[in-house]
Amino acid sequence: MIDLHYWPTPNGWKISIMLEECALPYKVVPVNIGTGEQFKPEFLKISPNNRMPAIVDHDPAGGGAPISVFESGAILQYLAEKTGKFLPKDVRGKYEVLQWLNWQMGGLGPMAGQANHFNVYAPQFNAGDKLEYGQARYTNEVNRLFGVLNKRLADREFVAGPLSIADMAIWPWVVGFKNFGQKLEDFAHLKRWFDESMGKRPAVVKGKAVGAELRATPGINTDEQRRVLFGQTAAVVR
């Protein structure tokens, strides 16, 4: 059995989708990031970056003590290697997938996260026109990244060979496209992949729905949530 330390957000969905695609049994352990559960000492032992998702595999390959993994890209790779699914074993196929997985981890995820922050959350601080530079910077960068992905998908169904952990990492970070200031109509191939190739897969639908009931209202809406999540410094994990 695998414990999935989870909250229903794009980085969490990557792993619930992968677990559903692999039909692996798992138990959701909620980490309410709006109330600060990511700072609990027990959680920091498995995820020292005070971010979810993280997993604990109680039945690792080769037996022995449970293995814990944090960082969604590493978790996807771990589950792919455990199951032999969604990551080719040959060197060419494997690195096709891993370069797009890392494109998501280092590019689309962080940039879309910042676009979301500046477009949706920062205005809640009444920062007025000081926000314009940040909004334009990250909205433009997501626009560029969507363009890269659209071009990549022009002549193939999935991002890198057959369905892979790269698709599962990227798809959740397209879901919030409106908050990132984007229109999917501007990216026809990306839209086809998002709606049809990925969006209609039962495991994707099921994985994205995991824990939806945990968040009464999506997003960050209260002063308490804002206090917990924004303005973190090293003091939070000391």
Ligand X SMILES: N[C@@H](CCC(=O)N[C@@H](CS)C(=O)NCC(=O)O)C(=O)O
Among 6, 8, 11, 176, binds ligand X (CB under 6 A): 11
In whole angstroms, what is the distance from residue 119 CA to residue 100 CA?
26
Asked whether position 120 contacts ligand X by CB under 6 A, the answer is: no
Nearer Cβ to ligand X (9/182): 9
Q: How far is the CB of 117 from ligand X (least distance, A)?
A: 11
In whole angstroms, what is the distance from residue 226 CA to residue 121 CA?
9
Contact region with ligand X (CB under 6 A), list: 4-12, 140-148, 152-160, 211-219: 4-12
Asked whether position 9 contacts ligand X by CB under 6 A, the answer is: yes
109: helix, strand or coil: helix
Q: How far is the CB of 192 from ligand X (least distance, A)?
A: 26
In whole angstroms, what is the distance from residue 184 CA to residue 146 CA?
9
Q: How far is the CB of 185 from ligand X (least distance, A)?
A: 26
Which residues in the 210-229 window bind ligand X by CB under 6 A? 229
The candidate with the shortest Cα–Cα distance to 68, out of 34, 36, 44, is 44
Nearer Cβ to ligand X (50/164): 50
Q: How far is the CB of 116 from ligand X (least distance, A)?
A: 10
Asked whether position 77 contacts ligand X by CB under 6 A, the answer is: no
Which residues in the 138-157 window bind ligand X by CB under 6 A? none
Nearer Cβ to ligand X (35/140): 35
Nearer Cβ to ligand X (107/181): 107
Q: How far is the CB of 177 from ligand X (least distance, A)?
A: 16
85: helix, strand or coil: coil
Asked whether position 165 contacts ligand X by CB under 6 A, the answer is: no
Which residues in the 176-215 window bind ligand X by CB under 6 A? none
In whole angstroms, what is the distance from residue 153 CA to residue 10 CA?
21
In whole angstroms, what is the distance from residue 86 CA to residue 88 CA?
7
Count of residues that bind ligand X according to CB under 6 A: 12
In this structure, how many other beta carbons lie within 10 angstroms of the beta carbon of residue 202? Answer: 9
Q: Which residues contact 154 (CB under 8 A, 6 or more apart)?
A: 189
Q: Phi, psi at residue 43, to the nearest 5°? A: -75, -40
- Cα 60 to Cα 18, 46, 67, 79, 207: the distances in Å are 17, 15, 7, 10, 22
Which residues in the 40-69 window bind ligand X by CB under 6 A? 50-53
Interface contacts to ligand X, rule CB under 6 A: 9-11, 33, 38, 50-53, 71-72, 229
